[in-house]
């Protein structure tokens, strides 16, 4: 079974993000870049599928030259090879999907996995939009995946607010992974060494001849408002409870 995993490189969640003076991007100096955490679940699931059914796991990514570091980490986890669409410019999800669609069509696939969203922009659009672009069935926010290879059928559990939804769908399909699907493995030293020799195919974005006008224009980025200092209540429990209720009603406006 051939599984493609769409992987994005994002800033480490512990990195302090600063907005550029022109408000058109972030200051990248000193940032630690990592595999998008939700994509790690997709990579791990792809590896487990290969271990069970044999086949190949291919990482597909889009980004600037620095994205190769995350790609090599994915290969060190156990993926077989990778394809990078090279683009130094930040692309909106629609254009990302058009580029990735060309790559995955050329590659061929039985299943496409990716994280439910990227933690940098939280758009959660690429997986569902790619499924629509390729006219494939899709299931998002998946926390359990079972494959019936003989029947060409997937059975997945999706996380909903206060409930779990069970869905059956044929494959090829697009699946987006949620936390809880599995526990991603750590690369071993031998696999880290092997990853240095694994194939990484690079495709310049311009060679795809997309020629598509952007649909979204970035006006400006602004940081979130500073969090106010916390209010600490002490003293008599009855008075404290009364004061807490007042604050929740008048300041927080939650009651």
Looking at the fold, whether 153 and 33 belong to one and the same domain comes out as: yes
If asked whether residues 241 and 178 sit together in one domain, one would say no
Domain membership flag for residue 213: no
Residue pLDDT, tens place only, 163-172: 999 999 998 9
Q: Does some domain include residue 219?
A: no
Same domain flag for 193 and 231: no
Instruction: Give yes or no: residues 236 and 138 share one domain.
Output: no
| Range from 44-53, 66-75, 87-96, 97-106 carrying the lowest mean pLDDT | 87-96
| Segment 39-84, tens digit of pLDDT | 999 999 999 999 999 999 999 999 999 999 999 999 999 999 999 9
| pLDDT recorded at residue 168 | 95
What confidence score (pLDDT) does residue 76 get? 96
Q: What is the mean pLDDT of the chain?
A: 92
pLDDT of residue 29: 86
With respect to residue 251, please indicate whether it lies within any of the assigned structural domains.
Answer: yes
Question: Looking at the structure, do residues 32 and 152 belong to the same domain, yes or no?
Answer: yes
Residue 134 has pLDDT above 90, yes or no: yes
Which string of b and e fits 46-65 if b means at least 16 CB within 10 Å? Answer: bbbbbeeeebbbbbbbbbee
Residue 215 lies in a domain: no
Residues 231, 181, single domain; the answer is no
pLDDT for the residue numbered 210 = 87
Higher-pLDDT residue of 68 and 15 is 68
Task: Please give the residue that has the higher pLDDT: either 38 or 239.
Answer: 38
Q: How many structural domains compose the chain?
A: 2
Predicted confidence at residue 116, as pLDDT, reads 96
In a domain? residue 170: yes
The pLDDT score that the predictor gives to residue 252 is 73
Whether residue 218 is contained in a domain is answered as no
In a domain, 187, yes or no: yes
Which residues span the domain enclosing 240?
Answer: 225-255
* Same domain? 13 vs 97: yes
Q: How far is CA 22 from CA 5, 164, 244, in A?
A: 34, 44, 42
Q: Is 59 in the same domain as 158?
A: yes
Q: Give yes or no: residues 176 and 255 share one domain.
A: no
pTM beyond cutoff 0.75 = yes
What's the CATH number where 23 sits?
3.40.50.620
Judged against a pLDDT cut of 80, whether residue 253 lies above it is answered with no
Q: Would you state the pLDDT for residue 225?
A: 84
Task: Tell whether 49 is covered by a domain.
Answer: yes
16 pLDDT band (50/70/90 cuts)?
confident
Please tell me the predicted confidence (pLDDT) of residue 5: 98
Domain identity same for 61 and 175: yes
**Same-domain pairing of 180 and 236:** no
* Residues 197-208 pLDDT 10s: 999 999 999 999
């Amino acid at each position: 079974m051939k599984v493609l995993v769409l992987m994005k490189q994002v800033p480490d969640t512990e990195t302090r993000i600063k907005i550029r003076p022109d408000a058109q991007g972030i200051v990248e100096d000193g940032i630690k870049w990592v595999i998008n955490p939700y994509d790690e679940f997709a990579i791990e699931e792809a590896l487990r599928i290969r271990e069970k059914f044999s086949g190949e796991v291919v990482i597909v990514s889009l980004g600037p030259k620095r994205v190769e570091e995350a790609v090599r980490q994915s290969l060190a986890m156990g993926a077989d090879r990778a394809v990078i669409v090279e683009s130094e410019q930040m692309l909106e999800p629609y254009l990302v999907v058009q580029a990735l669609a060309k790559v995955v069509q050329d590659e061929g696939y039985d299943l496409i996995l990716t994280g439910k969203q990227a933690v940098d922009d939280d758009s959660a659009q690429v997986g569902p939009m790619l499924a629509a672009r390729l006219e494939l069935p899709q299931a998002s926010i998946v926390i359990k995946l079972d494959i019936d290879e003989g029947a060409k059928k997937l059975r997945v559990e999706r996380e909903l607010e206060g409930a779990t939804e069970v869905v059956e769908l044929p494959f090829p399909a697009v699946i987006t992974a949620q936390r809880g699907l599995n526990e991603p493995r750590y690369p071993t030293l031998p696999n880290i060494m092997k990853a240095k020799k694994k194939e990484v195919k690079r495709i310049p974005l311009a060679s795809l001849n997309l020629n598509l006008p952007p649909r979204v224009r970035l006006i400006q980025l602004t940081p979130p408002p500073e969090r106010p200092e916390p209010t600490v209540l002490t003293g008599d429990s009855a008075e404290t409870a009364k004061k807490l209720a007042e604050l929740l009603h008048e300041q927080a406006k939650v009651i």
